Structure 1
Amino acid sequence: MKVLISGASVAGPVLAYWLERYGFEPTVVERTPELRHGLGGHAVDLFSNAVEVAERMGLGDAVREARTRIQQLTLCRDGKRPIDVDLDRLNAGISDRHVEILRGELTRLLYDATRDRVEYLFGDSIATLADDGTGVDVTFEHGKPRRFDLVIGADGMHSTVRRLAFGPEESMQRPLGGYLAVYSMPDELQLGNRMLTHMKIGRLVGLYGVHQTGQARAAFMFHSASELRYDYRDKDQQKQLLADEFREYGWEVPRLLKHLDAAGDFYFDSIAQITLDTWQKGRIGLVGDAGYCPGPAVGGGTSLAVIAAYVLAGELAAARSDLPSGLRNYERMMRQSVDASRALAPKVMKTLIPGGPLAMRAVPLAFAVLPHLPTGLQRLIWAQNGIGKALGSLQLPDYADLVRA
């Protein structure tokens, strides 16, 4: 059976890997050219079950080797003494199954694991979809029309598949009132394996070293009382919005903004959720941020995408003769984890972007105290928080008996 997957970032290649193992013929279409895959993007987390999926793909060692290796966090505030946090100790106490990795590095590993056995169509995108109940006729912006047994949108928060099959994005997007920007710059502060963060009410700035390139990555998060209007594909407009927001911030920000215009890997987007009543319509389905983005940087979306893509492939293989049934089973299995991540995200955002003086005092206190608690207590706290519950609520199914390749 032929399955078209739109999106070659995280969920798409994971889904393609497992579908191919189960005897399907997956094709991945990706708007950006192949050469865009590399060390770009912000750092993302793989927790618990997502690490297990990577291990089942034979990528456990490679993912751990590619980790960011940030060992120390220094939290700065105006007029206050900096707080240093030993991240190795903190991460070891919270979970022994957690890997922080650059999104671009994870994408590269997933692509390398699939490129020889999966068809990739780079530099193209889906133009139209026509589901007649027995298959989906697809036209592309550049390539020739083709027919597939199933089409899956794994193309992120601004999904083309979702727009074509489910309707305009605006009706499904729930803004959380925050914005995120990330880009690379020279490591002028010689950070190495350190991260510097600075916080004010309503805003957070971070800067961390990237050991693979010797550069640094600057990250900005801020709250806005009103929704910003911009074209999500217009990078120059987005850069201007960021510069205007932080021009008077102080700290090291003027140094960071000097490199904004030259940043070729600039990312900017709202911290928003995607909410749909269902993620499947006939022979068209959605996975990861395309179907249920919990909020960039605040909802564990990357881990959720990895886990969901694995489950989706398994359920499609189990329902091979009735693919729409497989889509429905996947949605039923993932709904609790998705709802938990979605409920978590607003709380995490309020923690990361302090909303008032109380949060400005509470967040540094938590960072200062948590690493010094006994390991057992740290893991208990982690297990009871939103991310721990959301990503650990699903017992990862074993689909090994469905493997055909």
Structure 2
Amino acid sequence: MNPKFDEMQKRLTHIGNLNHYIEDLMEKIPGNLVSDKQRKKLLEAITDDDDLSVLLDGLKNPRPPRFVLVGRTGVGKSSLVNAMSGKYLAEVSDVEIGTKEARKFTYESDGQVYFEVIDTRGTGESETFDTNAEDELADVVREFHPDALLFLQKATERAHIDKDVMAAKNLMDKTGGELPLVAILTHIDELNPSRIKEPDNYPAEKLSLIREKTDQLARIFGEHGVATKAILPVSSYIEWNGTGEEEEGSADGNPSIAFDGRRGIEELLDFLEENLDVRAAIHLGLTVRLNRIAIRISERFIKIFSALSATVALSPIIATDIAVLLTLQSILLMIIAYLSGRELEFRTARELLVSLGGVGATGFTLRMVAQQGSKFANLFFPGAGSAISAGIASGGTYAIGKAAVAYYLREVPEDQLGQIVKDARREFEEQQEEK
């Protein structure tokens, strides 16, 4: 096992028990800042948030992503899985799953399961594939509870696409029509000029062919009325050391990468992490992109705590939410710092909050005054002042969280945080305008 993996999983599990974690953090908050009643209300607001509950369940109970793979022999299913993990994974076939038209695999390395997969090897390929077989396969897929159906099509081939698309459509229909479909155009490295494998050196003609093939696949799906979540072109081309008798692998004995020709894999992983069940997304980040999982989780906390800040600020009672908002933002900072491997005292978090104001303590105080002052509008237009205050509080929490991620997880120098705060506020405002 990877020690960094174990340490990060330990941190995530600890934060996943947020009730206890928040209680621990609350003990660090000076008693003269928030009352016992405010502590209770704040804890209720945090733990009653549905989005946060889903995230916490994912932190405590991550599980391998489950995919149904649709594609013909030679389309590059195992190569894609290896490219996604960056490891030469072992294909471990499980027990019989009730149909000859598919096999269930786990992809593993050093005892760690990366993916669980049903390979529908018979779909669209066999001339004898009948309705009974389709029904059996649909039953197996439903019991598997997959996160997505990955439809793989080789970029250099055009034959059989219509038939394969219809097979995928039938499978989706028979499983309830809710299974998200991601189309993946594989082997883009083999498009002309095929000799050029370096992903950063693809010439214009190769890039043009990739766009043409992607558009072609999109048209075919559209013609058959099949909705896709995305159509992503990728190259899974990797040359491995340690797969032959005389080759040496990595220090742990596993094959290592001798040449990396992957392209589009990061985009695929980004898409999956954003769209998978949160438990699967967290597991994917832990196993495949450990250095980015803390940032991903922090981004989720920023979104949730920004919304909670708006809820706190909507209190119509003037000047009662300053301390609670400060506490909420401090907790967000402490969580992000903890994800980086550091533990903050509340006093340190509060001082950092002030410095993240962009212009020091004065700027922080002025924003708080502006926030509370806006509530006087409630005397004339009930609710209007609180709505303004909520926007300020939510945007401020968003900016503070972004700056904390930059400082603790991206190691951005402290003197650049002021600009990050300004950029984050502008980004937040743009997001609000788009809603």
Give TM-score, length-normalised by structure 2: 0.23
Give TM-score, length-normalised by structure 1: 0.24
More helix per residue: 1 or 2?
2
Q: Which has the larger radius of gyration?
A: 2
More strand per residue: 1 or 2?
1
**Whose RCO is larger (CA < 8 A, sep 6+)?**
1
